[in-house]
Amino acid sequence: MESDTTEYILDRQVGFLLRRATQRHLAIFATQIPDLTPTQFAALAKLCEAGPESQNALGRQTAMDAATIKGVIDRLRAKGLVTAGRDPGDQRRITLAASSQGRALYEARVAQAQAVTRDTLAPLTESERDCFLALLAKLT
């Protein structure tokens, strides 16, 4: 039996499906939380949940490289949601913390953020959801 190894079916490639699922997810996120992007929310959430941190360390925890986290933090600082100061013990470090405004906004949006995950997974049944998340986590 000759299998069609030469045929490339775009719609069956993981990358393509991942891209489409991400597109849908981003649309859902933008609907639920119009005033923050997913990465901005992730950074703010980490600062609120885990406390002050250096910029690079925060980037590592939120899976953003140094160049990316910089842009995200710049925008959060411009919005007054995050404050920054030099670390007295290490002159290279910038210590970041959520401002009171940032914390308030975070707390006001957590419920919607959880709704985003719910809505994104809505096409799946309860058990499919668990299965999907477990498998997705393995591809990290």
Partner DNA sequence: AGCTTATTGTTCGTACACAAACATAGACCT
Partner DNA sequence: AGGTCTATGTTTGTGTACGAACAATAAGCT
Smaller CB separation from DNA, 93 or 129: 93
Dihedral pair phi/psi, residue 79, rounded to 5°: -85, -5
**Which of 13, 31, 100, 101 forms a contact with a copy of itself (CB under 8 A)?**
13
Does residue number 45 form part of the binding site for DNA (CB under 7 A)?
Answer: no
- The dihedral through the CA atoms of 125, 42, 26, 116 has a sign that is positive
Query: In 62-125, which ranges are continuous DSSP H helix?
Result: 66-78, 100-120
Residue 7 binds a copy of itself (CB under 8 A): yes
Burial of 28 (0-12, 13-18, 19+ CB in 10 A): middle
For 15, phi then psi, to 5°, come to: -60, -45
At closest approach, how far in Å is the CB of 10 from a copy of itself? 6
Residue 75 touches DNA, criterion: CB under 7 A: yes
Instruction: Please give the residue ranges that form the binding site for a copy of itself (CB under 8 A).
Output: 5-10, 12-26, 29, 38, 42, 45-46, 49, 61-63, 107, 110-111, 113-114, 116-117, 120-121, 123-124, 128, 131-133, 135-140
